[in-house]
Amino acid sequence: MSSTIKNIYIAGIGVISPLGCGLEATEQALKKNVSAIGSLTAFAVQQPPSLPVGQVQDCPDGFSPLPRTHNLAVIAAKQALENSALIPDVVILGTTTGGILTTENLLAENVQETGKYRYHGLTTVAEEVAKAVHCTGPALTVSTACSSGTVAISMAVKMLQSGKAEWVLAGGVDSLCRLTYFGFNSLQLVDPEGSKPMDANRQGMSVAEGAAILLLTTTKQKNSPVQILGCGLSCDAYHPASPHPDGKGAATAMKTAIQNSGIAVKDVDYINLHGTGTPDNDLAEAKAVHTVFPTPPPLSSIKGATGHGLAASGAIEAAIATICLNKNFLPANTGFKIPDPNCDLIPVLQPDPRQISVVLSNSFGFGGNNACLVIGKAEKHSAAIPTDKSATGKSVPLTILGKACITGAGHTKESMDKFVKLEALAGVLDQKIVSQQLPVRKIRRLKRFSRIALALAAAAKEDSGLEQAPDSVFLGSAWGALSETYNFLDKLQSSKEKFPSPIDFVGSVHNSAAGQIAIMYRATGANVTSSGGNYSFEQALLAADSFLDDTSSSAFVLAADEAHEQFSRLFDPSLTETTPLADGGGSFYLCRKAIPGKISVKLKFYQKQTENIVETLIAALDKNALRNDCAMILAGIPAADANNGEKQLDSFMQKTGLDVPVIHYRKFTGEFASASSVAAVMATHLLEEGIVKHDKKVLIVGFGINVTAMEFSRQ
Amino acid sequence: MNMNQLTEKLKIQLIEILNLTDVTPEDFDENAQLVGGDLGIDSIDVLEIVVMVEKEYGVVINNKEIAEKVFTSLATLADFIRKTSPTLSS
């Protein structure tokens, strides 16, 4: 069974960074080899002098009510689509900060008006971009710390290769904010003189901001010779914040990306290093480079010029890779003076005019999240032999080997016992009960969100009865680690910005829980945290479906959210002052393999609400198939979208003529963003226990600002 | 505050900020290896201790070489604080 890998063309690029706005300005700045790292003015600090940062100088803050991150993303997206009336099928953004800078300002003024926090959620950035470019397909968000932008582009590549989309707008964005500025400094990872990657005297990074978004397509582009040739993801599964000392995970990601591209190691002409300038990261990356390349090609980190744009950095560097390929030069490692004998690498010292064909671009982040892209000229790829199994695994179902949930009622058994008796499960489970099966020492630094996620993964594995844990993790969460985020900002504010907590900072990162799962189970494969508001589980499932392209692969796929006294009601529009708080989540141990008798799950539909959304949904699900097979519908209507959602559901039932039980699952789970993951466990339970006939299907339909459908059936 | 009192106070503070729920001050051997030892204290914990020490005792530890010596054990940390704290009366 041979397969042809589809070529992924770069049809448009938008970039805004401390170097400037647009490709031309970026190219000119790189050719000057001058650092853009300078003073912070994006927000005031209480303890001057401020540390040097990479700030975008022409970000129009006062220009809209949107937070700075959203503005940067929209600017980049519009640039990428310049001169084109094209509407992308999918938007995928990597971000870690979302609207946090605006949230910080509001909290400092003790604003309690919930509407003002509507742009806090990470998902709102991709939604704003989708709105700006009129995309009604999935607007997806990945948050894997400093590799986010690269992971977003990698996911786009996978979706394009599998035919899920033809045009995808993908990239990364982050704005400067107090959380990252003080957080990285609390970890002593900031160089007070400004970042100088790979230099023997480097002392850290310079926190920065920016956005870059690529328009990617499988449609051949005559005027654009540059393609994404391949990508590779891995997880160190070693430590929440420090890289593996030998760069083991980094080397794996590089090798995987090279292999996925169908090229040889010797074909790489230039490596754009992650090179943040922190002593440990640069050393680990240098060791990884030496592991993969017997004789390393020319290489450099541009972060001495740009600073570290966090989630944006990988996307900015992908844009820069295309400049190198199209304009025939290699950017210098700005700020480098003294070679570090431990790294044993001399980077490009001056902008180097040189014709190249293939660039390897590295991105590594907290949680041991590694992602690499290979970007190159078309001729390299057409000569290559595809070694990847991407196109073949897609028809194979995602099979459920184990499941688990946590609700206000308890763990899986208590929750399902109540559910089948049609009793409510909603509530906030005592934290001691949440983590009763977890080793005390391993979770001492973890707060509620990470404990729920870790307990869910542990229980899904136990339910599978398997010795071997899966090697990948796909986690969805709307709000992430609220406790750590709150504690960090609270301590920062109450100490007049003098004593932020390093532990809280590391724990506040959206992907910290998925990183913890990886550490506990030595899960060194892809590790992706998605954030999609009320559709976060659906996004995690879509990420799993995109990245699990090999029939030997398996993953934890889960979603969770924590209830937080101060934050939940401020952020989640489905919660009013009187709504009882609820939280929890659901998890699965999935594999890409057909196993007769087992239950499989499929994401059948994910679209933004439009005028004809119900008709589009019914067409995608096939009306006749629905009538024949569907035995029950679990409907998810968030309280904030109640009127609209009920209308959508009524219309759906009427137009399909379905006469099956409909369960509004939020009436059982309570109102929390990742409740659909608990519904997914309910659906599986109904099928496994024979409550729904073995030849029938259970459909989970999400309504509201997006409409989604997940199908559960027995094989 | 004498050395013993400071040592005992630090034990309680470390147990609290590092959430060592299964450790009592009596279990805490001040001469045992602090980082990478039985308690599972790592680099992030050290930074949390650095913040606490600055906040509570006005002692700044921002030099890697000094930090390596200071964080040998709880006893060496107590000793360093006692010698350098501007707020601690001897």
Which residues of chain B are within 8 Å of residue A495 when distances are taken between CB atoms? 55
Q: What is the pTM of this model?
A: 0.96
A556-605 per-position pLDDT tens digit: 999 999 999 999 999 999 999 999 999 999 999 999 999 999 999 999 99
CATH level 2 (architecture), domain A393-474+490-598? 3-Layer(aba) Sandwich (3.40)
Instruction: For chains A and B, count residue pairs whose Cβ atoms are closer than 8 Å.
Output: 44
Nearest CA in chain A to B62: A188
| Same fold: A8-391 with A600-714 | yes
Region class of A576: left (phi > 0), else alpha (psi between -120 and 50), else beta: beta
Which residues of chain B are within 8 Å of residue A191 when distances are taken between CB atoms? none
Looking up tokens 């070694």, which residue turns up?
A387
Check pLDDT > 90 for residue A221: no
Query: Quick check: B55 and A441 CB within 8 A?
Result: no
Domains, chain B, ranges and CATH? 3-84 (1.10.1200.10)
Query: CB under 8 Å to A301, separation ≥6 — which residues?
Result: A197, A198, A272, A273, A274, A275, A276, A277, A282, A333, A347
Distance from CA of B40 to the nearest CA of A (A): 8
Domain boundaries A600-714, corresponding CATH code: 3.40.47.10
Smallest CA-to-CA distance from A615 within A582, A646, A639, A651 is with: A651
Rounded to whole angstroms, the Cα distance separating B51 from A180 reads 17
Which residues of chain A are within 8 Å of residue B48 when distances are taken between CB atoms? 501-503
Disruptive mutation site among A190, A191, A444 for chain B (greatest number of B CBs within 10 Å)? A444
For position B65, what pLDDT does the model report? 86
Every domain of chain A and the residues it spans? 8-391, 393-474+490-598, 600-714
Which A residues, 170 through 209, put their C-beta within 8 Å of a C-beta on chain B?
186-188
Q: At residue A396, what are phi and psi to the nearest 5 degrees?
A: -80, 135
Q: What is the mean pLDDT of chain A?
A: 94
Please, which pLDDT band fits residue A393 given cuts at 50, 70 and 90? very low
Rounded to whole angstroms, the Cα distance separating A223 from A229 reads 17
Rounded to whole angstroms, the Cα distance separating B33 from B38 reads 8
Interchain CB contact of B18 with A (< 8 Å): yes
Query: Quick check: A502 and B47 CB within 8 A?
Result: yes
A478-491 per-position pLDDT tens digit: 999 999 999 999 99
Looking only at Cα atoms, what is the longest distance across chain B?
33
Rounded to whole angstroms, the Cα distance separating A697 from A57 reads 54
Q: Which amino acid, one-letter code, is at A669?
A: T
A188-202 per-position pLDDT tens digit: 999 999 999 999 999
Say if residues A326 and A25 touch (Cβ distance below 8 Å): no
Interchain CB contact of B23 with A (< 8 Å): no
SS3 A599: strand
Interchain CB contact of B68 with A (< 8 Å): no
SS3 A277: coil
Which residues of chain A are within 8 Å of residue B23 when distances are taken between CB atoms? none
Secondary structure percentages of chain B, helix, strand, coil, to 5: 55, 0, 45
Nearest CA in chain B to A241: B44
Check pLDDT > 50 for residue A386: no
Rounded to whole angstroms, the Cα distance separating A276 from A286 reads 12
**Range with the poorest average pLDDT among A48-62, A80-94, A150-164, B61-75:** A48-62
Rg, C-alpha atoms of chain B: 12
CATH level 2 (architecture), domain A8-391? 3-Layer(aba) Sandwich (3.40)
Smallest CA-to-CA distance from A381 within A1, A2, A3, A4 is with: A4
Please, which pLDDT band fits residue A383 given cuts at 50, 70 and 90? very low
Query: Quick check: A506 and B21 CB within 8 A?
Result: no
A495-542 per-position pLDDT tens digit: 999 999 999 999 999 999 999 999 999 999 999 999 999 999 999 999
Q: At residue A560, what are phi and psi to the nearest 5 degrees?
A: -155, 155
